[in-house]
């Protein structure tokens, strides 16, 4: 059994990176940029007003209770080629190009129109309420580095440059394979008292799809049959970059995944990791394919997928940052790990209060408790955290 750190290090080492494809801007959110993106245009592209108000000459800045002659109006849009002189003011609106000679903009609340003139009640500082060209973004400035996961904010900035598409890494093609003679697909009647509906398949497929870490192209539910498991593994290895197997990776008489892999000449890089839940975790490489064997208990499958599978998929998709989001919070009650393995407790992180509350049963089969959680609290072997003590959290996507 190896440590969690060693397991993740070995999983991430020398992973193949997917090919590059061109993605339309409308579909690029959440994808990994395969090359750096730089600005073509400065933002703003011209000096403009930050307020609705009055453009005044530099010579009139710093003066209050002065009356200036109104010489024009400049709305947002096409510049009207206006020029300001001392003693003059131009009505101006947010985003409008500045008249030549503008020293500041006085917001409309600090001015009072009086026929053909305007009374400036509050003195304006030189440069006040002016957005200078390039003050937000310069031409040639880096917008997104290679390996960046594109967010909605990135998309707004990229769109401001008139960019229609980006080169992004393809999503790894993943097959989710669940084994177990007791499992039944949704929509069918449970055949006997010991039967269970397959929850791991839908959960794991949704996890990789919703995080845009992989494209789930197949979801198989297999009986405990060596020939069927072996044939399915062979087929999926021809079609997919990643196999995510749930159950059948332990040492019981009906745990057939490892023997099936060995039939195909595939041996585990490692098996068993010192984490709770999730000890029977298997990882293999087969050429440019990678294989993850997760425990069958749903919480164990989810935790190991979060800790090891998602970081690997991010690396394969070219992400510069592969780690899960983390934070720390105050425990609302004492927390104790009696195990000799690191224990991930499921619970609720209250961002506003900065607290963590355990949720439901802390057992590897307890899906209801997992469904109430948005974070995993990590306790070291034998660690005890007092009420109000700080505990590190891994945030659930």
Checking if the pLDDT of 119 tops 60, the result is: yes
What CA–CA distances, in Å, run from 191 to 9, 181, 182, 197, 229? 43, 11, 9, 10, 21
pLDDT tens readout for residues 258-276:
899 999 999 999 989 999 9
Predicted pLDDT at 194: 85
The whole-number average pLDDT for the span 279-285 is: 93
How does the average pLDDT of the chain come out, rounded? Answer: 94
What string of DSSP letters covers 282-327? Answer: EEEEETTEEEEEE-SSHHHHHHHIIIIIHHHHHHHTT-S--SPPEE
- Topology annotation, domain 48-131: Molybdopterin biosynthesis moeA protein; domain 3 (2.170.190)
- Topology annotation, domain 4-17+170-316: Molybdenum Cofactor Biosythetic Enzyme; Chain A (3.40.980)
DSSP 3-state assignment of 395?
A: strand
Hey, what are 238's tokens?
A: 């021809």
Q: How confident is the model at residue 253 (pLDDT cuts 50, 70, 90)?
A: low
Checking if the pLDDT of 368 tops 80, the result is: yes
Checking if the pLDDT of 323 tops 80, the result is: yes
Predicted pLDDT at 131: 97
Q: Does domain 326-395 match CATH 2.40.340.10?
A: yes
Checking if the pLDDT of 132 tops 70, the result is: yes
Q: How confident is the model at residue 75 (pLDDT cuts 50, 70, 90)?
A: very high
Checking if the pLDDT of 255 tops 80, the result is: no
The answer to whether 278 and 295 are in contact (CB under 8 A) is: yes
Q: How confident is the model at residue 186 (pLDDT cuts 50, 70, 90)?
A: confident
The rounded radius of gyration (Å) of the Cα atoms in the chain is 30
The answer to whether 356 and 331 are in contact (CB under 8 A) is: yes
The answer to whether 179 and 231 are in contact (CB under 8 A) is: no
Q: How confident is the model at residue 104 (pLDDT cuts 50, 70, 90)?
A: very high
pTM score, whole prediction: 0.88
Checking if the pLDDT of 66 tops 90, the result is: yes
| 331 CB-contact burial (10 Å; exposed 0-12 / middle 13-18 / buried 19+) | buried
Q: What ranges do the domains of the chain cover?
A: 4-17+170-316, 20-41+143-169, 48-131, 326-395
CA 237 – CA 206 distance, rounded (Å): 21
Describe the strand order of the beta sheet including 102-107 as a list of residue ranges.
Answer: 102-107, 53-57, 88-92, 66-74, 117-120, 111-114
Does an H or E element contain 49, and which?
Answer: strand 48-49
Hey, what are 185's tokens?
A: 């697909």
Please tell me the CATH code under which domain 20-41+143-169 is placed.
3.90.105.10
């Amino acid at each position: 059994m190896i440590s969690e750190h060693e397991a993740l290090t070995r999983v991430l080492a020398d992973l193949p990176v997917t090919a590059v494809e061109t993605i339309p801007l409308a579909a690029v959110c959440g994808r990994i940029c395969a090359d750096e993106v730089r600005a073509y245009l400065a933002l703003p592209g011209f000096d403009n007003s930050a307020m609705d108000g009055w453009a005044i000459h530099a010579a009139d800045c710093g003066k209050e209770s002065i009356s200036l002659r109104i010489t024009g109006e400049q709305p947002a849009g096409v510049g009207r080629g206006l020029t300001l002189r001392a003693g003059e003011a131009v009505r101006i609106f947010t985003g409008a190009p500045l008249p030549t000679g503008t020293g500041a903009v006085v917001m409309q609340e600090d001015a009072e129109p009086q026929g053909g003139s305007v009374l400036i009640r509050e003195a304006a500082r030189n440069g006040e309420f002016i957005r200078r060209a390039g003050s937000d973004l310069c031409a040639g400035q880096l917008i997104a580095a290679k390996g960046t996961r594109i967010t909605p904010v990135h998309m707004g900035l990229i769109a401001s440059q008139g960019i229609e598409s980006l080169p992004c890494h393809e999503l790894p093609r993943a097959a989710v394979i669940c084994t177990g003679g007791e499992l039944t697909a949704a929509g069918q009647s449970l055949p006997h008292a010991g039967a269970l509906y397959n929850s791991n398949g839908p959960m794991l497929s949704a996890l990789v799809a919703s995080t845009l870490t992989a494209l789930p192209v197949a979801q198989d539910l297999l009986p405990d049959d060596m020939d069927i498991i072996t044939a399915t593994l062979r087929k999926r290895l021809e079609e997919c970059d990643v196999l995510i197997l749930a159950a059948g990776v332990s040492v019981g008489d009906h745990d057939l995944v490892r023997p099936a892999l060995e039939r195909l000449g595939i041996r585990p890089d490692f098996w068993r990791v010192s984490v709770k839940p999730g000890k029977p975790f298997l990882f293999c490489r087969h050429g440019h394919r990678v294989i993850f064997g997760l425990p069958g208990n749903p919480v164990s499958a989810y935790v190991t997928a979060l800790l090891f599978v998602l970081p690997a998929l991010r690396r394969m998709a070219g992400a510069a940052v592969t780690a899960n989001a983390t934070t720390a919070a105050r425990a609302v009650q004492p927390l104790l790990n009696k195990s000799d393995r690191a224990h991930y407790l499921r619970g609720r992180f209250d961002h506003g209060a900065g607290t963590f509350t355990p949720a439901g049963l802390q057992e590897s089969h307890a899906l209801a408790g997992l469904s109430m959680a948005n974070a995993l609290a990590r306790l070291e072997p034998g660690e005890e955290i007092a009420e109000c003590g700080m505990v590190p959290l891994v945030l659930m996507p």
